[in-house]
Amino acid sequence: MKLYFYCSSCQEENSFKTKAKDRFELQKERGNEINERCKNCGTVVKRRINRVHAKPNKWLLIIGSLIGIVITFIITFSLPLIIIVFAVPAVFGIPFIAWKAEDKKASAFNKVMVSDG
Ligand SMILES: [Zn+2]
């Protein structure tokens, strides 16, 4: 999952990748604070675990929909109508379901706070 935090110096949003599914796991992995270098200004940012947040990956939805449009375009000219009627919702449904799952994971992460002294 990708986690986000704001730089204390330039307020730019930064992200890093982790295997942690919640803040407890992140705390185990990183301690009470994360130490990451800001990609924008280079400042080493210290952020408490509770100040780090998760966001669903919007590219899943954007790229999924673009692929969906391309597939729809191709099958419209090559398959019978009855198949198109069933295929199109599936083609657009899959990226949407994947994005919903991401969204659920992200809000589960954001809901649970840890005590960090
Ligand atoms: Zn910065």
Number of Cβ atoms within 10 Å of the Cβ of 117: 5
Tokens of 37: 């270098």
pLDDT of residue 70: 94
Q: What tokens were used for 114?
A: 């840890």
| Residue 112, pLDDT score | 95
- CA of 30 from ligand 1 middle (Å) equals 20
**CA 28 to ligand 1 centroid distance, Å:** 25
d(Cα 85, Cα 76) in Å, to the nearest integer? Answer: 10
CB 114 within 8 A of CB 27: yes
**How do residues 38-96 score in pLDDT, each as one tens digit?**
999 999 999 999 999 999 988 888 999 999 999 999 988 888 989 889 988 988 898 89
Centre of ligand 1 from the C-alpha of residue 34, in Å = 15
Q: What is the pLDDT of residue 117?
A: 66
pTM of the predicted structure, to 2 decimals: 0.78
Q: Per-residue confidence at 116, pLDDT binned at 50, 70, 90? A: confident
* Strand duo 53-54 + 13-17: pairing: unpaired
| pLDDT average, residue stretch 93-117 | 91
| Residue 50, amino acid | N
Structure token digits, residue 79:
């398959």
The reported pLDDT for the residue numbered 34 is 95
